[in-house]
Amino acid sequence: MLEGIERGWRVCATGLCFLLFGAGGLLLRLLVFPLLRLMIWERQLQILLARTVIHWTFRAFIGLMCALGVISYEVRGLEKLQRRGLLILANHPTLIDIVFLMAFVRRADCIVKAGLARNPFTRGPVRAAGLVCNDGGPELIDDCVASLRAGGNLIVFPEGTRTLRDQAPRWQRGAANVAVRGGVDVTPVRISVSPPVLGKGERWYRVPRQRSHFVFEVDNDIRVGDFLDETADNKALAARRLTDELAQIFSLETARVIA
């Protein structure tokens, strides 16, 4: 009986958290970011301050979820994320992976779906922070490289989207192409969650019997130069090699999610 009560509480608390997340997005769009534009005219400074606001807002959101007993988490190697110009690649098991990562990383940028730039709950933060928009255009990789060279920390999920729990992911080469064309080393972050929660196609109220625990493990950087041919600047081949390496690195966490 106590287990049922505790689970019921987590369902209610999860709903409350998502309600507050949506309300927070509207507040940022309608009040905070318009005030920021009025007070700060320089666009790059606006972006920096907007990303700082999002960073601390997401930290508060994660703290709220933990305080309410919805989830718990731990980070291994957090100090590796306290740098600038990082290309952070992570697997993507849950809906809130990006919330966690942007809460851990300062000056964070990420690739967002074009629809989020039109969503009333998310378009304010997306536009104010100057996040890279995936509208299917060929300039996407150039935008990613430009973000890194400007000192931003770019977060990318090589899967492209969350993968259904009972399917193996298909690793896209876009993230590797950003690393190769930009000459930027990769910082892998392996995400695992047990028991699984908030996967693709899963309703928010389908909480597991026990509280889910997230583990974020930041690996050592992968040198992109190791994948370039010594005799020829074959960037397509280097991207393919790097993608294969990333697939191996994330295979353990993928197996855990599918299990």
Question: Could you tell me the CATH number of the domain that includes residue 245?
Answer: 3.40.1130
Nearest to residue 154, comparing CAs of 99, 86, 209? Answer: 86
The predicted model gives 160-177 an average pLDDT of 81
Of 196 and 236, the structure prediction assigns the larger pLDDT to 196
Among 9-13, 69-73, 252-256, the range scoring the smallest mean pLDDT is 252-256
Number of CB atoms found within 10 A of residue 166's CB:
9
pLDDT confidence of 258, banded at 50, 70, 90? very low
Q: How confident is the model at residue 161 (pLDDT cuts 50, 70, 90)?
A: confident
Question: Cα(215)–Cα(95) distance, rounded to whole angstroms?
Answer: 15
Domain that includes residue 51, residue range? 2-258
Query: Helical H runs in 28-158?
Result: 33-39, 43-67, 97-104, 123-128, 140-149
- Candidate from 63-67, 80-84, 250-254 with smallest mean pLDDT: 250-254
**Smallest Cα–Cα separation from 239: which of 252, 229, 254, 250?**
229
- pLDDT band, very low/low/confident/very high, at 233 (cuts 50, 70, 90): low
The domain total for the chain is: 1
Instruction: Decide which of 11 and 119 is more confident.
Output: 11
What DSSP designation does 183 have?
T
